[in-house]
Amino acid sequence: MTLPQNIAELCLSTLPHEACGVVVDGKAVLCRNTSDKPDVSFVISPEDYLRYRPTTIFHSHPTGEEGFSDHDLAVAANMELTSYVYIVEADRLERWSAEEGLAVFENVLKKR
């Protein structure tokens, strides 16, 4: 299983809520979403964040076709993180990093 597929599968496992997690040694690890509104936002639990001290994070958008929000990109840039977002309805994964900008992976799970 590729990293994009790994992330997508973990994101599907938390529906209808947003998933969130980290990438460690090339593998996605699901974390606890401590957001007050987990159906529309995510917050990686402080315990998970301190445990992994990630350089790469991911989350999902369970509904809609939109990718990264301005807030998502600002957080990634300010914290110097590579960030992925899986858009469930589009079966699309987007990756953003300061070094490489935006990359898009279509039909990650080949649902269409």
Find the CATH number of the domain harbouring 22: 3.40.140.10
Q: Does residue 9 come out as left (phi exceeding 0), alpha (psi in the -120 to 50 range) or beta?
A: alpha
Amino acid identity for residue 67 in this structure: G
Domain coverage including residue 56: 3-105
Is residue 111 a part of any domain in this protein? no
- What is the model's pLDDT at position 12? 97
Rounded distance between C-alpha atoms, residue 34 and residue 77, angstroms? 21
Q: What is the pTM of this model?
A: 0.94
Is residue 12 a part of any domain in this protein? yes
Q: What is the chain's pLDDT, residue by residue, as a tens digit (112 residues)? A: 899 999 999 999 999 999 999 999 999 999 999 999 999 999 999 999 999 999 999 999 999 999 999 989 998 998 899 999 999 999 999 999 989 999 999 999 996 4
Query: What's the total number of domains in the chain?
Result: 1
Is residue 110 a part of any domain in this protein? no
Q: How far is CA 4 from CA 55, 92, 109, in A?
A: 16, 9, 9
Is residue 112 a part of any domain in this protein? no
- What is the model's pLDDT at position 111? 67
